Amino acid sequence: MASRPRSEPFAEAACPLGVCDGSGWILGPEDVARPCECREQRLKRSRVRGVASAIPPRYRGVSFDRPPVSDMAGQAETREAVKRIGAYIDALDSNLERGRGLWLFGDTGTGKTTLAMLVSKAATEGGHSVAIYSLPKLLARIRRTYEGEPGSDSYGAFFERLTSVDLLHIDDFGAEKRSDWVLEQLYALVNERYEDERSILLTTNLTVEKLEEQIGPRTVSRLTETCEQIPLFGADRRLENAPY
């Protein structure tokens, strides 16, 4: 008998748990099928196909018990931020289930990206789907979908992936040149995740007022409602650690 064709994301030859036949379904009594436990795992993997989901090499070793995070935990101007990041991670599953996100803002070089990567790393290790972009790179990636290169994602397919991952991590909000096209893309993305109750993690050097000027009050309003705001101030750690 010919084998049954399998569609993505269930194209593997075998179930990773050794339970089903690789289709993601278990056939029970009276030919009633029920989903295998591997199905949700595979669905989550399918959500990150075609998006940047890997932790950048510089941040793969980030940890609460290693510098720079351990140093930040002992300094007055950043101690509270590290504590709040830890609390968010402690309740990570619940936060992602409810669509609760984080908004890290403050001066350049104060550790915003490092702490954000700590959250994304925890989410990835916990089996959640994550997409990680700086805003300029994300907008450039969206523009490439318009070029329609063979084998590349359409705009709709890429947008669906961005809006369906458990956590969307965007670094450097406000680092792009303002235009009607940028405003439209950011509003569409943030609003879709807002309506679907999916979490956003963002970092920015801008105040709320400046960010409203840059990306529009409608977008900022939705981020304000769904994201816990965590300020980070102090000296530029990159300059402090620069070789001389």
What percentage of the chain carries pLDDT values higher than 70?
Answer: 77
Cα separation, 151 vs 135, in Å, equals 24
Residues 66-90, mean pLDDT to the nearest whole number: 95
Instruction: Dump strand ranges (E) for the chain.
Output: 25-27, 33-35, 101-106, 130-134, 167-173, 199-204, 227-232
Whole-prediction pTM: 0.78
Cα separation, 107 vs 114, in Å, equals 13
Instruction: Dump strand ranges (E) for 91-175.
Output: 101-106, 130-134, 167-173
In this structure, the number of other CB atoms found within 10 A of the CB of residue 179 comes to 10
What percentage of the chain carries pLDDT values higher than 90?
Answer: 61
Give the start-to-end residue ranges of the domains of the chain.
1-45, 48-239
Show the CA angle centred on residue 103, arms to residues 101 and 106, nearest 5°: 165
Q: Is the peptide bond before 217 cis (omega within 30 degrees of 0)?
A: no
* Region of poorest pLDDT, from 10-24, 59-73, 179-193: 10-24
Tokens of 155: 């705009």
**92-119 tens-digit pLDDT:** 999 999 999 999 999 888 999 999 999 9
Burial class (CB in 10 A: 0-12, 13-18, 19+), 117: buried
* Residue 4: predicted pLDDT: 38
User: Judging by DSSP bridges, how do beta strands 33-35 and 25-27 pair with one another?
Assistant: antiparallel
Cα separation, 45 vs 129, in Å, equals 7
**39-60 tens-digit pLDDT:** 666 555 555 565 666 899 999 9
> Tokens 């679907």 correspond to what residue?
196
* Residue 159: predicted pLDDT: 92
**172-227 tens-digit pLDDT:** 998 888 899 999 999 999 999 999 999 999 999 999 999 999 999 999 999 999 99
Q: Which residues contact 7 (CB under 8 A, 6 or more apart)?
A: none
According to CATH, the topology of domain 48-239 is Rossmann fold (3.40.50)
Cα separation, 167 vs 3, in Å, equals 36
Going by pLDDT thresholds of 50, 70 and 90, the confidence category of residue 135 is very high
